[in-house]
Amino acid sequence: MKELIEELKVKIIEALNLEEVRPEDIDENASLFGDGLGLDSIDALELIVMMERNYGIKLKDPAQGKEIFKSITVMADYIQKNRTK
């Protein structure tokens, strides 16, 4: 799990072009949207693509993302339970 969290930090920085953020700057329990990293709706869609590409998880409804992207810990937990690759 710890490993997956670290991996996710790197992948999120890369997928969302968070040029000035380092993995160690991200608090895995903080909210990704709103105050946290300040992500927006396009970033959420890009995270959905990232989950499909890397972990074989397909989300059909963008609203599902709201729950899953609450924090990196929540996201890692979801990926661990649902990944197909």
Partner 1 sequence: MRIKKWLSFSPDSLSLNGETLGVVGGGVEMLHELYRRKVGDYPKFFKMDMLGKLGFVASELLLQSEDAPRFVPREDRSVVFCNRSASLVADRRYQETISDADNYYPSPALFVYTLPNIVTGEIAIRNKYYGETSFVVLEKFDPEQIAMHVAAAFQDPVCQSQLVGWTECSDESHWQCLMLLVEREGELDRHGLAATLERMFTSL
Partner 2 sequence: MGAAAPVWITGSGVVSAIGLDKRECLASLLAERSGVGEVQYLQTSHHEFPVGEVKLSNGQMRERLGIAPDALTTRTALMGMLALQEALQEAEVSAGMLPETAFISGTTVGGMDKSEQYYLDFLSGESHMEYIALHDCGSCSEAVAQHFGEWAMVTTPSTACSSAANAIILGANMIRCGEADMVVAGGSECITKFHLNGFHSLMILDERPCRPFDATRNGLNLGEGAAYLVLESAEHAQRRGVPAQAVLSGYGNGCDAFHQTASSPDGEGAFLAMKEALEMAGLSPQDVGYVNAHGTGTPNNDLSESHALRRIFGPQLPPFSSTKPFTGHTTSASGSIEAVFCLLAMRNGFIPANLNWSQPIEEGLVPVTATREAGLEHVLCNAFGFGGNDSSLLFSKPVGR
Say whether residue 38 binds partner 2 (CB under 8 A): no
Contact indicator for 28, 72 with CB cutoff of 8 Å: yes
In 3D, which of 13, 31, 30, 33 has the Cα closest to residue 22? Answer: 13
Among 27, 38, 66, 67, binds partner 1 (CB under 8 A): 38
Among 40, 66, 67, 83, binds partner 2 (CB under 8 A): 40
Partner whose footprint covers residue 25, from partner 2, partner 1, none (CB < 5 to 8 Å by kind)? none
Say whether residue 47 binds partner 2 (CB under 8 A): no
**Gap between the Cα atoms of 71 and 85, Å rounded:** 21
For Cα atoms 65, 43, 7, give the angle at the middle one, nearest 5 degrees: 80
- Contacts with partner 1 by CB under 8 A lie at 16-21, 38, 42-43, 45-46, 49, 52-53
